[in-house]
Structure 1
Amino acid sequence: MMLSQPFEKPVRVWVGLGFPRQLNSVVDAYQFVTDWCGNSPEQKAAIRACKAALAGDIDAETARGILVRFARKKDILVEDGTMTPVKTTGRPLHI
């Protein structure tokens, strides 16, 4: 049985050319991490955690924490209060 568990607080990640995407549930997170290009240990852990949460083996907040660690490691996590991607050049971002 798959349980679509919502997160208490959505996780926001940067996708594409600096567009934020909001992940509201374990299903959203699972789709995101399985679509992510790569094969890192953090990605594998996030996929396993989402699968476990969907199966009801762990709660959504545990999976959320592992997802946040993956996103932070990949530097795609939108931290609270962050509105634009971090600039590495020191020059303003012109959109």
Structure 2
Amino acid sequence: MNRGQFEEPVTLLVGMGFPRKIESVMEAYVLLQDWPAVSRNGAHAIALNACKAGIAGEIDPETVRATLVTFARRNDILLPDAVSPAAAMGNEMHAG
């Protein structure tokens, strides 16, 4: 396994709700650096600091991944691994 790689990627809904797989500490760092300043919160700061510590080798990639998942949940952008975007849309269409 490459240094900084997550054991399992984290899939987030970004932009206009497009899924994006984040597979490493560096990818998480880039995403968080590009996050709009107006939308940043405490969870963002914690995740960004974890990324910096992960890049420096101070914490392991799975700890960084956990902070990214928490950030994503708090911002309602985490896409569950078991649900694909097409399946999620299909479920919405059948509801009602």
- Bucket of the pairwise TM-score, normalised by the shorter protein: 0.7 to 0.9
Residue aligning to 2:34: 35
% identical aligned pairs = 42
CA contact (8 A) 1:10 1:24 kept: yes
Structure 1 gaps of 5+ residues are: none
1:73 matches 2:74: yes
Count of aligned residue pairs for this structure pair:
88
* TM-score (norm: length of structure 1): 0.82
| Counterpart residue identity of residue 82, structure 1 | V
- The list of structure 1 runs, each at least 4 consecutive aligned residues, that deviate by more than 4 angstroms after superposition, is none
Residue aligning to 2:11: 12
* TM-score (norm: length of structure 2): 0.82
Q: Distance in 2 between matches of 1:27 and 1:40?
A: 20
Superposed CA RMSD:
2.1
CA contact (8 A) 2:14 2:77 kept: yes
Which structure: greater helix fraction? Answer: 2
1:84 matches 2:85: yes
